Amino acid sequence: QVQLEESGGGLVQAGGSLRLSCAAPGGVFNSLTIGWFRQTPGKEREFVGAVIWDAGNPYYADILKGRVTISRDYVQNKVHLQMNSLKPEGTDVYYCAAGSQVLGAMRDSSMYVYWGQGTQITVSS
């Protein structure tokens, strides 16, 4: 069941930037934790970053720190993932997710209840 909606994916050149957005079709995020994950074909889903909707600072995967930024838009009720210095790694699918009982397990995808359908990003050389 698709409960969130990602947008902003597409084709980008290596070294370029891209911003993804995540929206909750049924309403606002309230106090949910919103996470971003990516999945490379043939590999496990990988944690990118996460943030609590109405509190605290974002958390990022160590290998992506300095290259990704998560921001919250309280007016449009969206969470954005800004990605810079993209590497030519082919095509990945990015997902946004949300959960109310994530707490300190933000990196664990199984802790998230609501998921989007995913948006595809292709980084070319």
Please check the confidence at residue 27 and state whether its pLDDT lies above 90. no
Task: Quote the percentage of the chain above a pLDDT of 90.
Answer: 80
- Listed in sequence order, the residues at least 6 apart from 48 whose beta carbon sits closer than 8 Å to its beta carbon are 35, 36, 37, 38, 60, 61, 64, 68, 81, 94
- pLDDT category of residue 1 using cuts at 50, 70 and 90: low
- What is residue 3's predicted lDDT score, i.e. its pLDDT? 85
pLDDT tens per residue across span 32-61: 999 999 999 999 999 999 999 999 999 999
- pLDDT category of residue 2 using cuts at 50, 70 and 90: low
Whether the Cβ atoms of residue 103 and residue 118 lie closer than 8 Å to each other: no
